[in-house]
Amino acid sequence: MERYLQRIKEIATDRKHGARELYHRAVENLLEWVKERGYHHPLELVPLLAETARAQPTMAPLLNLVNRILLAWEEGPSRAQEILEEALQEDQPSTAKVVEEGVKILKDNRIVTLSRSSTLLEVMKALLKEGKRPRVLISEGRPLMEGVATARHLHKMGADVTLCTDSLIFSLMEEGDVVALGADAITPRYLVNRCGTYPLALVARDRGVAFYTFTDTGKLLPPALAPLFKMEDRDPAEVLEDAPFEIANRYFDQTPLDYITAAVTEKGILKPRDLRRLIAKTKVSPRVKEIEGYLTAHTPSL
């Protein structure tokens, strides 16, 4: 069991890799456990899934994965193994559909964005293959400067990039035609994404600029899984070391879902009402209560 927990600890502390890679590592870890121990040590299921959920509590796909495994486990470990094997294969078709829809929306538009979205980068690649040169306005993305890294990446790809400070992007909104961002989670009320998304949505709404989130439906988070979802404070030293005063360092904010134009997903272009309809249809295992109970009763072991 210790080997599996150590891998989860590495996922929890990883600040270098994107959500997609962390998700795949979590799936691979759970799949190996099911194959090697799950059939003989089923009592380890709840602690292992609980620690997986705690590792990245803002990653809706991980929380949904925990729910899917709990539902599958009702049919037995073999079904849980099938679900995990499917999870490793389902990413590429979903991304391809999002890219197909995204190209239609972003073609010939000046794009305003924040941080880094691997799905959005795939759309940019597709535009370049079509002979288009995406025009992108992006802010720095403090404190980890993800926007700077994304700007460099886009420039190397061949995009026309303008980088600005985090606060300046709101004043430059009028230079854009469309806001295009990723998503960490979508609840019935909010889009959860990197800080700056909410004020960007407000300015876009005021200026009449379309606002799209590029995501797969694995990031839709039903209310029953909300207790597992947490937006935690991050290391204050990322902002300022040895500060003699309190530092607020949070990566995410919440944008009212009705402020977005639509989500570009593998199921097509979905309006907020469509997203809510899908969320309402999501089945949640009653055993999620056991995961909640474990997390409440156990201080972080990672």
Residues with Cβ within 8 Å of 48's Cβ and at least 6 positions away in sequence, in order, are: 1, 4, 5, 8, 30, 33
Write down the domain spans for the chain: 2-89+283-297, 92-270
> Which amino acid does the sequence have at 161?
V
Number of residues in the chain: 302
| Res 106 pLDDT > 80 | yes
From residue 207, give the alpha-carbon distance in Å to each of 161, 170, 179, 188.
22, 10, 11, 25
- Reported as a single tens digit per residue, the pLDDT across 47-95 is 999 999 999 998 999 999 999 999 999 999 999 999 999 998 876 667 8
> Once rounded to an integer, what is the mean pLDDT over residues 221-234?
92
**Tokens linked to 37:** 């121990």
Would you place residue 302 in the very low, low, confident or very high pLDDT band (cuts 50, 70, 90)?
Answer: very low
Q: Which helix (H) or strand (E) holds 124?
A: helix 118-129
Where in the sequence numbering do the catalytic residues fall? 184
Q: Is the CB of residue 279 less than 8 Å from the CB of residue 221?
A: yes
The 3-state DSSP class for residue 235 equals coil
Whether this model's pTM surpasses 0.85:
yes
CA atoms of 263 and 257, how far apart (whole Å): 10
Q: What's the CATH code, domain 2-89+283-297?
A: 1.20.120
Q: Is the CB of residue 226 less than 8 Å from the CB of residue 110?
A: no
Topology of domain 92-270, per CATH?
Rossmann fold (3.40.50)
> Once rounded to an integer, what is the mean pLDDT over residues 215-225?
94
- Reported as a single tens digit per residue, the pLDDT across 195-210 is 999 999 999 999 999 9
